[in-house]
Chains A and B, each alone.
Chain A
Amino acid sequence: MTTPAPARVPHLGRLDAVGYLICLGGIVRRELLRFFNQKERFLSALVRPLVWLFIFAAGFRNTLGVSIEPPYQTYVLYEVYVVPGLAVMIQLFNGMQSSLSMVYDREVGSMKVLLTSPYPRWLLLLAKLVAGVSVSIVQAYAFLAVAWFWETDITPAGYLAALPAFLATGLMLGAIGLFLSSLVRQLENFASVMNFVIFPMFFASSALYPLWRIREASETLYWICEANPFTHAVQLVRFALYGQFEPLAFAVVTGTTLAFFAMAVIAYDPGRGLMARRGGPAGDTP
């Protein structure tokens, strides 16, 4: 026998919480490794909101005055107003990107490797979600570090207070992405996810303009924005960055997370799920 056998058999007695934490750590590590291997992805994630901040916000600062409303204590410049929304936009893109990588994983088969892990499937999906959120938080803070030079009046305590908020919003957007990944069968369909999910969620929210402004334009649109979970994600982060807690936003974000995660777990269940009904593996299709 050439292979040295460890004193204990590793697969026994490791199906406990410690084993799961190792599993979670491994999944997060892989996601981060893949992320840092893809320099373009990191750059584009950072450049997109910065372009908005530099160009779009600069152009609009004169046309769109933002009056005093919580959590701001004074009249703020438009650049200051959009920073939280752009940070959460990064997470929105990242959530969809993670969902894209789930679809990709399924096509190339590495999803099978994940699912043959002995841990319960919902724990594996949760680990996948946490992995995506870790990447999105790295990106969001990289953006905030650059935005810091724009006199956003965010204190160091605010940056710290925003961390749990980013965690919550990241989980919500990741859970939505996870659910969508179970619906999208092929990579090519992802363009429609951009058109029908990312853009409407982003534009019909408080990310770019305060909702009272929208209400002046259209009462209906205002209520659509209010019903949009992305609005509440943005508000949660916006308040947290200025050291305040927004209970309604937190409730909406948590509720949305739970709902979409539950749907994703059902969708990935081998018995009930959509995976099982999809006509079998390519190799066995006559």
Chain B
Amino acid sequence: MSVVPGREGAAPALEVAGVGHRFGARAALSDVSITVERGRFMALLGPNGAGKTTLFSVITRLYNNQEGRVAIFGHGLDREPSRALARLGVVFQARTLDTDLTVEQNLLYHASLHGIARGPAKARIAALLDRVGLAERRGDKVRTLSGGQSRRIEIARSLVHEPRLLLLDEPTVGLDLESRAGIVRIVRDLVRDEGLSVLWATHIFEEIEPGDDAVILHKGRIVARGRAGEIGAPGEGLETAFRRLVAEPGRQAA
């Protein structure tokens, strides 16, 4: 794949350093530091309310970066937001396709948001729909698609502008086992074949492989990090370690 030239050099795909975020008096994130290396799959684990969505909103510049620094391939969100965002693809937790428009119209709209003319966009979209196995649904309205299919379309959409870093916020929520596996496979193939860097928020352990990087976010703080297979006490396993780390007296961890 294309090597990004110039001073991007060897900067990591995503660098989140000491990020904090407050909503009034409530601290949603405190001193969060995460580095996604190029070509790596990183799992962001956390129970509901841990701050995953807030972190994603800061990285995507939906919220102002109040404290700390975010850089995408070396481009700081504060100084070069356009360059940073141009290298970033996002799949949000909520469904964000226009259900009244066709699959292709949705993707073309997204391409235009990144300044890609219709000609090259159409070719790119055809290839991506092929990749997610939905080429034949190009002219169908999104409302006729199943949940798993619209998710795949959203992944295709997030890739239209050829980002090198992909953020996915619990992309498999509400899907059946088979669709879930399909989504995971598509993203893992992208990492393997194209060297895409991925930050994948989830609380489903089956989606994580022992060789992935992982961080556990709890109450807005990072409580563990490392290779997914090595987090926790020896022999404990990721899932048990996670439950122990986020356990609270009087409340069952999600």
Contact = CB atoms under 8 A, between A and B. Distances in A.
A109 B115 contact: no
Interface stretch (A12-20, A164-172, A241-249): A12-20
A37 B100 CA distance: 7
A55 interface: no
B109 A30 contact: yes
A115 B105 contact: no
Interface string A22-37: 1101110110011001
A118 B63 contact: no
Given A14-B116, A120-B82, A284-B28, A26 B108 contact: yes
Given A112-B62, A113-B96, A284-B53, A33 B131 contact: no
B114 A11 contact: yes
Interface string A200-241: 000000000000000000000000000000000000000000
A15 B112 contact: no
Interface stretch (A2-10, A57-65, A86-94): A2-10
Contacts of B57: 280-281
Contacts of B115: 10-11, 14-16, 18-20, 22-23, 118-119
Interface stretch (B31-39, B87-95, B177-185): B87-95
A270 B62 CA distance: 6
B61 A112 contact: no
A16 B83 CA distance: 12
A1 B86 contact: no
A112 B60 contact: yes
Contacts of B131: 2-3
B101 A11 contact: no
A18 to B, nearest CB: 7
B114 A10 contact: yes
A5 B164 CA distance: 13
A281 B201 CA distance: 15
B23 A280 contact: yes
Contacts, number: 165
Contact of B54 (A3, A25, A29, A280): A280
A30 B142 CA distance: 14
A23 B112 contact: yes
Given A6-B120, A10-B116, A109-B96, A276 B64 contact: yes
Interface in B48-64: 48-54, 57, 60-64
B61 A30 contact: no
10 contacts: A10-B162, A11-B162, A12-B86, A27-B113, A30-B105, A37-B101, A109-B95, A109-B96, A110-B98, A113-B110
Interface of A: 1-6, 9-12, 14-16, 18-20, 22-23, 25-27, 29-30, 33-34, 37-38, 108-110, 112-120, 269-272, 275-277, 279-281, 283-286
Given A22-B117, A110-B98, 16 more contacts: A3-B131, A11-B114, A11-B161, A23-B112, A23-B113, A26-B113, A27-B113, A29-B108, A113-B96, A116-B113, A117-B85, A118-B115, A119-B82, A270-B62, A276-B64, A280-B54
3 closest residue pairs by CB, A with B? A26-B112, A19-B115, A271-B64
